[in-house]
Structure 1
Amino acid sequence: MKAQPTTAQALLKAARKLFEKHGAEAVTMRRVGDAVGVSAMAIYRHYPNRQALLDRIATEAFVDLAAHLAAKATQTDPLARLTQLADLHLDFALAHRRLYDYMFFAPRPGARKYPDDFHARGSPTANPLADAVADAMRAGQLRDDDVWAVAFALSTQAHGLVALYLGGRFAFTLPQFRAFYHATLGRLIDGLKAR
């Protein structure tokens, strides 16, 4: 028999559903409470304020993305894994457009900051990228460099392209955009290759 979700879990699920459908502005204590069948005031027993609830949604989304990357990034060749990670990142952004925007672009208290949080391996979604870069350097596929600087060069290129696509700045179908995305990241990777 499946355990019933706690009130806090039910609130988080309802809040995330509102977020995914309508964006952060739709996540109000009243709407979340109505969705779960509790008063808005009752939510404060579980989340001290709206920002705490939004932060919990973002944290859960990062956990989900990290689990998705861990389960699906199966390529053993480091360069192939870099491409696979880029595809998984794009897939997540397409499936969770509003969450993706909030996770990576909205100012949030406690959001991880480069370089310290990343060098300390505090980002479960960036660590696989840095690991693939390090593996490619060890294998002689990429020239020796600062692993995190290279990982961020690749990451920011992917984030920028995805954000522009989601913002309607490309006159491409999704398959056309995917091909452009691969080609653009490929050019960057080619420039980083060991000679």
Structure 2
Amino acid sequence: MNTEWRTYLVTQESRSAGRETAAIAEAALAGGVDAVQLREKGRPARERYELGRRLRDLTADAGVPLIVNDRVDLAAALGADGVHLGQSDLPVGVARERLGDEAIVGVSASTVPEARAAADAGADYLGVGAVYATDTKDVPAETNGVGPERVGAIADAVDLPVVGIGGIDATNAAPVAEAGAAGVAVVSAVTAADDPRAAAAAIREVVDDAR
């Protein structure tokens, strides 16, 4: 499956201005996002599963992959297209054993050595960041704001699609794409927007123009 994604939505209902994640995802899909990641850290597994079933239907109808953050078991239960792993999560090979050879396995990387290790392990794409300083998730100070330059260094070091993440919106997405990222992953820039569909479309347009 293609992983050259331009706009990648990462869900987080706590940053959705009181709106349901499924409604945000539906609007973002209409705005042109080409991948959706179910994150929702902090919610019980049962709630994540029920939400994931709704997102699975929406993404399947849109022809867009559904990726599950961290939880290989949840990805398998949902029949998701893949999983995104952090540096402290299960190894790529274990995730692929559980999900099958066709599964998409992404890995977070903030340094060139991490990126090369993930590529050697068989990752399908990399999430690189935090590109700009962000408080959306717990990020060590030394990697909270690595900048587009780090995105470029990692994109040059590995033969994998790179998605920049962290503090990205329509005003600063262009340098990330220009540095070599295939696209950008966003949370609040879409989930907290007054018009999530328009926000997603604006980011998609910026990335398309910069590529």
TM-score range normalised by the length of the shorter chain:
under 0.3
Q: Which one has a larger percent helix, Structure 1 or Structure 2?
A: 1
Larger Rg: 1
TM-score under structure 1 length normalisation: 0.27
TM-score (structure 2 length as normaliser): 0.25
Q: Report the structure, 1 or 2, having the larger strand content.
A: 2
